[in-house]
Structure 1
Amino acid sequence: MSEASPVRHEPAPAAEAPAERPIDVIARIGRAMYGPLWIGKLAADNGLSHQSVRRWLAGQGSPTAFDFRLVKLIAREHAARVMRAVGDETP
């Protein structure tokens, strides 16, 4: 009687996460910058209509590449202003 070799269980391949939509990134940035009432504030700061942002969130159309880059640029500028305000002084 021969011994059976141990059964090796290979892990299931990881499912690829669906790519994040540009509007999902914009929404994450908007919430981080402006809080729960982010849509109107983000739209105003980026020269967009709040209706456009709401349509994108509802899956009706999507932001242009320019709009996406502009939101990210303004977010980086905002973050830089905050970092300058905080400074690197230690208490």
Structure 2
Amino acid sequence: MKIGAFAELTGVSAYTLRYYEKKGLLFVKRDQNGCRNYLAEDREWGQFLCKLKATGMLLRDIKRYAQLRYNGAGTIAERLELLLKH
């Protein structure tokens, strides 16, 4: 799905999605032409990022959480600790 459709689906602006990607909070697959191609599972993550931000979590902590998330299920305990600390 292209960025415009994804922005509409999630309620997050295309500008914000690009910012999240630039800051390493969101990793988006690209097609052969280099265009962003958002997947269904990216929707929940994009919405969750907004919720983390709404809690007042610092960007560096959100970035750490994102890195842990992309590293897989083995990081669940660390992610929970980060949330509880916040």
TM-score by shorter chain over 0.5: no
Q: TM-score, normalised by structure 1?
A: 0.37
More helix by share: 2
